[in-house]
Amino acid sequence: MKSQKSFEQQVTGGILYLVPTPIGNLEDITFRALRVMKEADLIAAEDTRNTIKLLNHFEISTKMISYHQHSDGGRLEELVDKLSAGETIALVSDAGMPSISDPGFELVQAALSKEITVVPLPGANAALTALIASGLAPQPFYFYGFLPRQNKERREALQKLARRQETWILYESPHRLKEALKAIEKAVGGTRQIVLCRELTKRYEEFLRGTVSEALEWANEQEVRGEFCLIVAGNEQADDSDEETAWWQALSVKEHVEQVMAQQSLTSKDAIKQVMKERGLPKREVYAAYHEI
């Protein structure tokens, strides 16, 4: 085990600070976050065009450099070299916690591999902000983030989420919300409770509470705007049998049906019924997946 004592004097190397930024309302910045950004040698920002607005508002003149998901390996090495040379870097994302749905994780890993101190600051976070106001069970919960863009990968991800007992949390952009809700409805049915949390902490903050079908109806009728956090109720019918059937969790629905047919000499009709029960999915979803409709 390697010990890190964040507030003891560092013998070698600098410090990587993970600094949360407001998710909408600038008043949600902390005094400590402002101090760290002012005192840092460098701010590594997901989008410098966005972060400069925050820095200008609070009159922070610290030098800034871009670091985002499209940055090449050279930028990562450059930041690690600066940290190794004793510089202090404040890592910030566009909004909320660094390394949640942004590339900060890779920088944290690289810094730790060089035994560089990594210090997290508490602060704004969209997922927890939405969860505690959703009205759905706040614990246990499962944070997933953004769903895959491709239909197959998204469907498989939702099939796994549909079996979870925990309340689950997704992020979604406005132009993808309708497709995401359609996929969720196919995976869990229309009666599962969901909360659409829109424009958190901003002027047009809104919570839309109801069933998945009602959420999809709303999205089809309204002009969808703003970033969304989706809070979805867990599967109340899930039980510990998931552990006993772990063998199929890595399979697609079609592969699962085929394995059941082969192992138990069942017809496709009976195998579909069994897979439907094991996965907690609607019959039509399993039927369509098996027949590739």
3-state SS track over the chain: CCCCCCCCCCCCCCEEEECCECCCCHHHCCHHHHHHHHHCCEEEECCHHHHHHHHHHCCCCCCEEECCCCCCHHHHHHHHHHHHCCCEEEEECCCECCCCCCCHHHHHHHHHHCCCEEEECCCCCHHHHHHHHHCCCCCCEEEEEECCCCHHHHHHHHHHHHCCCCEEEEEECHHHHHHHHHHHHHHHCCCCEEEEEECCCCCCCEEEEEEHHHHHHHHHHCCCCCCEEEEECCCCCCCCHHHHCHHHCCCCHHHHHHHHHHHHCCCHHHHHHHHHHHHCCCHHHHHHHHHCC
Question: Do 166 and 134 sit in the same domain of this protein?
Answer: yes
Is 155 part of a structural domain of the chain?
yes
The confidence score (pLDDT) of residue 247 equals: 66
Domain boundary among the residues 215, 232, 249 is at 232
In this predicted model, which residue has the larger pLDDT, 7 or 171? 171
Mean pLDDT of the chain: 90
Given a cut of 50, is residue 242 above it in pLDDT? Answer: no
Domain boundary among the residues 232, 260, 275 is at 232
Given a cut of 80, is residue 210 above it in pLDDT? Answer: yes
Given a cut of 50, is residue 245 above it in pLDDT? Answer: no
Question: Do 89 and 138 sit in the same domain of this protein?
Answer: no
Question: Do 131 and 110 sit in the same domain of this protein?
Answer: no
By residue range, what is the domain housing residue 218? Answer: 127-232
Total domains, the chain: 3
| Average pLDDT score over residue span 65-72 | 78
Is 1 part of a structural domain of the chain?
no
